[in-house]
């Protein structure tokens, strides 16, 4: 390979840095000025927000709508899923119904029996 006109940069010694003459005071001053301008902008925007809120709601915040604490508004459930116990209660009722005896129609003499007993009866019927 031919040697190129570019040579590798010489390694600098640790104490031989070129940035010794940086204007640190100006850098810190610009940084502080930026933080102060940012803080003033936050204060100004907060005051504008409060002023606009007072203009739009002179009597204070609006009251809570009547449907907020209801269980269901229209067809929309309002409870969080983790707090809603209806499915677990329904499942418990269904399991209880499948494991007990009871009347479906007392006048017609129709009863419900536990599912295990019904399956055993069906197996016995098929064996005959």
Q: Hey, what are 52's tokens?
A: 């606009």
Q: Hey, what are 45's tokens?
A: 């925007």
Locate the DSSP E strands across the chain. 72-73, 76-77, 102-105, 110-112
pLDDT in tens, 53-72: 999 998 888 888 777 777 77
Q: Which domain-ending residue is among 56, 74, 101?
A: 56
Q: Which domain holds residue 47?
A: 24-56
Question: What does the angle CA 85 – CA 90 – CA 94 come to, to the nearest 5 degrees?
Answer: 150
β-sheet bridge partners, residue 103: 111
**What is the share, in percent, of the chain residues with pLDDT greater than 90?**
52
In a domain, 98, yes or no: yes
Count of the separate structural domains present in the chain: 2
pTM (2 d.p.): 0.38
Q: Is residue 119 included in any domain, yes or no?
A: yes
The reply to whether 65 falls in a domain is: no
Let me know if residue 127 belongs to a domain: yes
- What does the pLDDT average to over 21-49? 95
Domain end point (choices 38, 56, 74): 56
| Four-CA torsion 90, 91, 97, 103, nearest 10 degrees | 20
């Amino acid at each position: 390979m031919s040697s190129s006109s570019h040579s590798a940069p010489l390694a600098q010694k640790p104490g031989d840095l070129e940035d010794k003459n940086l204007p640190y005071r100006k850098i810190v001053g610009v940084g502080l000025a930026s933080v102060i301008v940012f803080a003033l902008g936050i204060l100004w925007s907060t005051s504008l927000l409060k002023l606009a809120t007072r203009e739009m709601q002179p009597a204070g915040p609006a009251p809570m709508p009547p449907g907020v604490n209801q269980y269901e508004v229209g067809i929309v459930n309002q409870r969080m899923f983790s707090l809603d116990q209806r499915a677990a209660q329904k499942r418990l009722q269904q399991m209880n119904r499948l494991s007990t005896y009871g009347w479906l129609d007392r006048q017609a003499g129709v009863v419900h029996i536990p599912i295990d007993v019904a399956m055993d009866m069906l197996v016995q019927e098929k064996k005959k």
